[in-house]
Chain A
């Protein structure tokens, strides 16, 4: 579904992403791991159009998407959440999801029809499925940190993506929130067969839920494979897992 071939992105003289390779098949949960500064977030920005690659190819469903603008890539079927909470703070939880649904339905240029009640059924269904139904009328900025991260996922889901990209979905979460988030990711993958690509610092969590893992070090891909393959890889052991034994 997604194929990244020797993509390079540098800032000044620094190569943040250096010949990274990655492939994601439909229905999989793929994790990207790597030490801080390995280029995981930069790679995700390249996939979703927030940055344009210097060279290399990014193919989604066989078509090149590298360098397209974010809104175009979203319409092709990739949506994402962000590492740092990135919601619409002055809109309510309901409205956060609602405008994402309306955007997908291309209704954002209707200027006189009342927005109230539009797409209500779908918005409520999404909020119920992620567990934010009770907070639907709360302002986005008044949610707890964990709920904001979940709202991010809800907003990303509203685009009805084929590929969902989550940039550190559990960053900054309390343990029980993390637990809830993992259950949500599992559920999305299991129930609707959604393809998910995520990156994460919590290695235990990665091995628990990912079908396959890609390891990035200094911008490049060290290895991509099953949890077992990654564990056995010498280079990974020395570069990354070594310290934890």
Chain B
């Protein structure tokens, strides 16, 4: 059944996404853009955590640095917009490399804890440096090129960039590099024994994840027109992590589904109750108990061999 449903979905989904701003009112278009860029963010985190097995607990920092990089170039330099949109992700990738070089020496939880600490350091600098980053006020009213300044323009820009980046990551996890990082996730000791330089591959994966996290941050500037330090606070890192858990870390599109679910829940449930996180908590608990591989993870596992095949 799944086999026949997949191509239909593949046709229907892009059509729906393309038509969306013409059908739905402005606010929902804005929400859809947030869903898209958050999906990109969660997918980029999953490259590190789901595919490489690294406890990437501070991913929001790369998102924030991507956003601030773009915002600062747009507001404080006379450089053209394309430079700003490259500067953000590249700054995120560079930070990811620097933090990776330090953290990669530790394993598992220690890696994650050190990453949170270093990330909080970055957050603190951004939070306090009023003259440069705007401190806890952030930066507002960021000037954008006309083509992407309108709600429709920013939506289509976000849709295009997200689609390209998700496709790129889809290719990466199906490349030799992608398979090897999955091998490292499964068993780093064994990976080293087949001649894989484990730390070098982990570092490369971190840089790629940081880069795409930075792209998501740049898109946030386009959609929101502003940046603020809370977007790189460690609690948001955990929220993105929850998106991966919810959707399924071992299915490529799992984090995408998780991101959509959480963003929509936050936006639409918070209209009715301020306890929307209670709903999220309940859902998450149920998913973890009954679907430990996430919502999409159920489909991702290979079926056991048929009994009659070998006989």
Closest-by-CB residue of A relative to B193 is A70
Contact string against B for A residues 109-122, beta-carbon threshold 8 Å, 1 for contact and 0 otherwise: 11111111010000
A48 to B193, CA, bound (A): 8
Known: A103-B194, A104-B195. A111 touches B302 (CB 8 A): no
Contact string against B for A residues 91-119, beta-carbon threshold 8 Å, 1 for contact and 0 otherwise: 11001101110111001111111111010
CB of A134 within 8 Å of the partner chain? yes
Known: A88-B190, A91-B183. A110 touches B305 (CB 8 A): no
Contact of A110 among B175, B196, B197 (CB under 8 A): B175
Cβ–Cβ < 8 Å partners of B189 in chain A: 50, 70, 86
CB of A203 within 8 Å of the partner chain? no
Cβ–Cβ < 8 Å partners of A95 in chain B: 179, 182-183
Q: Are A155 and B192 in contact (CB under 8 A)?
A: no
Counting contact residues on chain A (CB < 8 A from B), the size range is: 35 or more
Known: A99-B183, A135-B305. A159 touches B175 (CB 8 A): no
Q: Are A108 and B250 in contact (CB under 8 A)?
A: no
Known: A50-B189, A88-B190, A155-B190. A102 touches B171 (CB 8 A): no
CB of A240 within 8 Å of the partner chain? no
Known: A89-B187, A108-B201, A138-B304. A80 touches B193 (CB 8 A): yes
Counting contact residues on chain B (CB < 8 A from A), the size range is: 35 or more
Min CB distance A63 to B, Å, is: 17
A201 to B178, CA, bound (A): 38
Cβ–Cβ < 8 Å partners of A140 in chain B: 186
Min CB distance B93 to A, Å, is: 14
CB of B59 within 8 Å of the partner chain? no
CB of A64 within 8 Å of the partner chain? no
Cβ–Cβ < 8 Å partners of A96 in chain B: 183
Q: Are A69 and B192 in contact (CB under 8 A)?
A: yes
Q: Are A158 and B185 in contact (CB under 8 A)?
A: no
Contact string against B for A residues 155-171, beta-carbon threshold 8 Å, 1 for contact and 0 otherwise: 11011000000000000
List 4 additional A-B contacts (Cβ < 8 Å) besides A49-B192, A103-B180, A114-B174: A88-B183, A88-B191, A115-B174, A115-B176
Of the A-B pairs whose beta carbons lie under 8 Å apart in the complex, a sample of 28, sorted by A's number, is A50-B193, A69-B192, A71-B192, A71-B195, A74-B193, A74-B195, A86-B190, A87-B187, A88-B183, A88-B187, A88-B191, A91-B179, A95-B183, A96-B183, A99-B180, A99-B194, A102-B180, A103-B196, A104-B194, A108-B180, A109-B177, A112-B172, A113-B176, A115-B179, A138-B304, A142-B304, A155-B194, A156-B193
B residues in contact (CB < 8 Å) with A: 168, 171-172, 174-180, 182-183, 185-187, 189-198, 201, 204, 208, 250, 301-302, 304-305, 309-310
